[in-house]
Amino acid sequence: MENKIEPCMTIIFGATGDLMNRKLLPAFYKLEFENLLHKSSKIIAFARKEKSNEQFRKEVLKSTKKFSKLKINDKVWKRLANKIFYHQSEFQDVKGFNRLKTLIKKICTKSAACNRVFYLSAPPSFFETIIANLKKNDLTASSGWSRIVFEKPFGHDLRSAKKLNESIKKAFKEKQIYRIDHYVGKELVQNLLVLRFANSIFEPVWNKKYIDHVQITVAEELGIGTRGNYYDKFGALKDMVQNHMLQLVALTAMEPPVRLDAYDLREEKVKVLRSIEQFTLKDVKNRTVRSQYGAGEINGKRVNAYRNEEKIDKKSNTETFVALKLNINNWRWEGIPFYLRTGKRLKERVAEINIVFKQNHSVLFDEYVKHTEPNMLIVRIQPEEGISLQFSAKVPGKKMIVDNVRMDFCHECRFGPNSLDAYERLLYDITIGDQTLFTSWDMVEHSWKIVDKITKAWRHGKVSNYNPDSWGPKEADKLIEKDGRRWYKPQKPSYSELLQNDSKQ
């Protein structure tokens, strides 16, 4: 983190929303705590309800206390609260943006913090309106730099993503645009490159010669909660695969970049997406599974079927689970499938990348390893971040019995609980102008190309059903079993008990 921290004004559009309360405010607090916010930086909270600065600061203190992993220290909070200003306006109100300009000018002359970050924590249907109003009021031009930040989803298909991108380009250049994929901000995801390219024991075996296949699981225990309006239009494929899961595929499969900078890294990731075999209609039938959770029980509590959730159409055909088999047609991965699965209301909350190695056949041990699992390298992204290596070992005793054992690296045990989490890291990177962890337009374009082919084929036919508290529908098992493989159940690593439940300091 050697880049110079510059003062800037972050204008949050949609500052009374869920994301601001749960993620952004705790992240700003952590940055303030770590002295990673410049003393002259400011946060302008743009939202539509009438309230004073004081009232807003009081409200966000409450939510920051609730959602921050850190215990709130009065002195640090006071420093942060003094940086926060509230601005009332509707996104559609041109005059409201004019008043915003006046406020920015006022704060800017006082503190010289004229650099601007426009953070769109707003419903995506307002993205283009906000950009147009920023432009109409000449807010994008300033004496310092200006940057704009987008949350997912970036469009709902390739066409809408292109249209949105064209609107943005009228006001901002690509180097000013920060498209967030918070998965990429997670420590263990960033660790993938170090794991792969800084270790002589892994780099030489990371290819089709030694790897049998890759499994990526992103499972959630929760249902869709109050996000029904959004979720029913998107579903698991667009909500999870188009962005987070394809980012994980790209980082796992990419070639080493020339340098560790934004341009080179993003170039290599795009090449992976370009190498993914496009789905034909027949492939969609054979290589994809979509399903929706039914009613059931989780931890002894009844849970609704998806179709009976709040704001969901009773006849909805939206998938809450998806499993895919991807083929990457390049030199390194030809013939090595990547199996992806993600869903809601599954057995447990877990995100893992599982690199499954080919079995080492030998006359000596073939008989003894028949029932063991293959060697695996498991990158556990959440909940307990770490890396596990599974290999075969002899069970103590006179007989030759071979079993699987695991060596676990626990990220938090080694480095402590206080590393920056995804949003903290991403907010910091925006202020120092580092786009490495953000999604480039090319990446968005190619991921929608892959996803659009699937959604087009899915227009006909119906989703299947799966039981909550399971690992998804039977069809997902069949998808991988027809290749003579199976999903490996995520296992709690040995260190999970060591980790304190309450990481508040």
Ligand X SMILES: NC(=O)c1ccc[n+]([C@@H]2O[C@H](COP(=O)([O-])OP(=O)(O)OC[C@H]3O[C@@H](n4cnc5c(N)ncnc54)[C@H](OP(=O)(O)O)[C@@H]3O)[C@@H](O)[C@H]2O)c1
- Which residues are annotated as catalytic? 244
Least distance from C-beta 424 to ligand X, angstroms?
Answer: 15
Q: Are 172 and 142 in contact (CB under 8 A)?
A: no
Structure tokens at 348: 């447990």
**What 3-state DSSP class applies to 319?**
coil
Q: 150-179: which residues touch ligand X (CB under 6 A)?
A: 151-152
144 binds ligand X (CB under 6 A): no
92 vs 329, beta carbon nearer ligand X: 92
219 near 469, Cβ under 8 Å? no
Dist. CA 389–CA 392, nearest whole Å: 10
Q: Which of 18, 334, 366, 403 binds ligand X (CB under 6 A)?
A: 18
Site residues for ligand X, window 51-90 (CB under 6 A)?
90
CB of 39 to ligand X, least distance (A): 27
**Residue facing ligand X at closest CB distance:** 17
Distance CA 7, CA 83 (A): 11
Q: What is the 3 state secondary structure string of 458-493?
A: HCCCCCEEECCCECCCHHHHHHHHCCCCCCCCCCCC
User: Quick check: 387 and 379 in contact, CB under 8 A?
Assistant: yes
Q: What is the CA radius of gyration of the chain?
A: 24
Identify which of residues 14 and 257 has a Cβ nearer to ligand X in the complex. Answer: 14
Judged by CB under 6 A, does residue 417 bind ligand X? no
Residue 122 CB, nearest approach to ligand X (Å): 5
Q: How far is the CB of 46 from ligand X (least distance, A)?
A: 7
Determine how β-strand 9-13 pairs with β-strand 42-47: parallel
Query: Contacts with ligand X: how many residues (CB under 6 A)?
Result: 18
16 lies in the binding site for ligand X (CB under 6 A): yes
* DSSP symbols for 120-156: E-S-GGGHHHHHHHHHHTT-S--SS-EEEEEPSPS-S
In whole angstroms, the minimum distance from the beta carbon of 283 to ligand X comes to: 29
d(CA 398, CA 169): 71
Chain positions 84 to 143 lying near ligand X, rule: CB under 6 A, are 90-92, 121-124
Only segment of 42-50, 134-142, 346-354, 392-400 that touches ligand X (CB under 6 A):
42-50
**Residue 120 or 324 with smaller CB distance to ligand X:** 120
- The least CB distance from residue 438 to ligand X, in Å, is 14
Nearest to ligand X of 88, 190 (CB atom): 88
The stretch among 11-19, 202-210, 388-396, 418-426 that binds ligand X (CB under 6 A) is 11-19
The nearer residue to ligand X, 14 or 337, going by C-beta atoms, is 14
Report the alpha-carbon distance of residue 323 to residue 490 in Å, rounded.
16
> Where does this chain bind ligand X (CB under 6 A)?
14-19, 47-49, 90-92, 121-124, 151-152
